[in-house]
A = this chain, B = another copy of it.
Amino acid sequence: MKQTLPETEIHEGDYVLLYMSPRKTYLARAEKGKSFHTHKGYVEFDSLIGKECGSAVKSSLGFEFIALKPQLRDFIMKSARQTQITYPKDVALIVMFSGIGPGSRVVEAGTGTGALTAALAYYVKPEGKVYSYEIREEFIATAEKNLKRAGLKDFVELKNKDIVAGIDERDVDAVVLDLAPPWLVVPHAYSALKPSGAIVSFSPTIDQVVKTVEALRENGFVDVESVECLMRGMQVERGKTRPQTLMTAHTGYITFGRKITKL
């Protein structure tokens, strides 16, 4: 992301993560003469521009913020809706189980707000490409904005099409599904994938998992597995260390498989 993300110094137009605490962070674009308002006072961007990433700055009310360079997971968290606050754990597993890496060509659906799209783009760049299908036109603009903000738009082709009707691409390395009826896309995914290519699907309900696993088994996929991932934070303090009190109990199941060559 050399093109757009701030390097060591904060330039005008760079995105910064204003950090107050792990639960209080703000993603903002540094614009000359402007300021960012929080409930702890406002921060003037002029006081940030030209400083090193990681520097402290005081708000108008005297509270300290650290101006961090945003990571991929910050862009994910800030583009995702509130209810999906542990999404990075699932994104990480989706990427791992799909075998996606630099140079991969990936089909994705649906785009939504582009959080998963951004992650896929981040890992396939600079030579790979993400073909992202979204049927709801209103999401395309939001996703495009989020991808541009993360400097990842160049690695994504946003397609306002219904993936249930078919996939245009061929010989892709992976198909990643985050939509309500993933099982309907399985035969198309088979056609689109390279031999031995990977499919990964993310679904909140068990019924979706059962239908998707059945579709995979019946349509030329092996090594079909479904998992869920629970992430729990620790409250670390010498002499008082313990797991956190509340956690996200469920986001969704991740189902994956690999294409075989039919005779």
Contacts and interface: CB of A to CB of B under 8 A. Distances in A.
Closest 3 CB pairs of A and B: A247-B249, A71-B99, A53-B196
Contacts of A8: 171, 194-195
Given A229-B231, A234-B253, A240-B207, A99 B125 contact: no
B241 A207 contact: yes
Given A241-B209, A248-B246, A250-B243, A236 B229 contact: no
A188 interface: no
B250 A244 contact: yes
Interface in A124-177: 125-127, 171
Contacts of A55: 195, 260-261
A249 B246 contact: yes
Contacts of A186: none
Contacts of A33: none
Contacts of A29: none
23 contacts: A1-B103, A8-B195, A56-B261, A56-B263, A71-B99, A72-B101, A73-B99, A88-B97, A92-B95, A95-B95, A101-B122, A205-B242, A210-B238, A214-B236, A225-B233, A226-B234, A228-B231, A229-B229, A232-B250, A245-B248, A246-B247, A247-B248, A247-B249
Given A69-B195, A206-B242, 18 more contacts: A8-B171, A51-B261, A54-B195, A54-B258, A56-B261, A72-B96, A73-B97, A92-B92, A102-B125, A205-B240, A209-B241, A210-B236, A226-B233, A228-B234, A230-B230, A244-B250, A245-B249, A245-B250
Nearest to A225: B22
In this complex, the member of A83, A92, A122, A171 whose beta carbon has the largest number of chain B beta carbons within 10 angstroms is: A92
A69 to B, nearest CB: 4
A261 B91 contact: no
A31 interface: no
A204 interface: yes
B261 A232 contact: no
B229 A259 contact: no
Contacts of A66: 222, 260
Contacts of A103: 1-2, 126
Contacts of A122: 101-102
